[in-house]
Amino acid sequence: MSRRVFKFRLYVAGDAQNSVDAIANLTTICRKYLPGLYDIEVMDVFLEPARALTDGIFMTPTLVKLAPAPVRRIIGNLSRTSLVLQALGLEGSAA
C-alpha cells in the first residue's frame, strides 16, 4: 500500500495558548499516524496578516490539509484527536 504524503499548513497566532497547543497536538498525531509521511508548514498570522486575509483565516489556530485532496480546514487546537483523524480520513488507522 503506497502511503501518500500529507501536506499541512497550520495557521497560528504567535504564541497564543491555543496555537502552541495546536502545534503540539498536530505533531503528536502526525508522529503517531503518519510517521515520515507528513509535511507541516507553520504560518504565523501576526507575521503574515496579508496572507491570512487572502486565505480567509480569522479563527486561529486553523489547520489546512492541502494534500491529498480534498482540501480540509480544521479549526481549533486539535485537542479532540478523534475529530481530527476523522477529518483527515485516518479513522481506520486509529486502532
Q: Please report, for residues 14, 49, 53, the alpha-carbon distance to residue 67 in angstroms, rounded to integers and kept in the order given.
A: 25, 23, 21
- Residue 24 CB: number of other CB atoms within 10 A? 13
Q: How far is the CB of 69 from other proteins (least distance, A)?
A: 14
Q: How far is the CB of 2 from other proteins (least distance, A)?
A: 26
Query: In the chain, how long is the greatest CA-to-CA distance?
Result: 41
Least Cα distance to 10 among 66, 49, 54, 50 occurs for 66
In the region spanning residues 15 to 74, those forming contacts with other proteins, defined by CB under 8 A, are 16, 18-19, 21-22, 25, 45-46, 49-50, 52-53, 56-62, 72-74
- Site for other proteins, rule CB under 8 A: 11, 13-14, 16, 18-19, 21-22, 25, 45-46, 49-50, 52-53, 56-62, 72-80, 83-84, 86-87
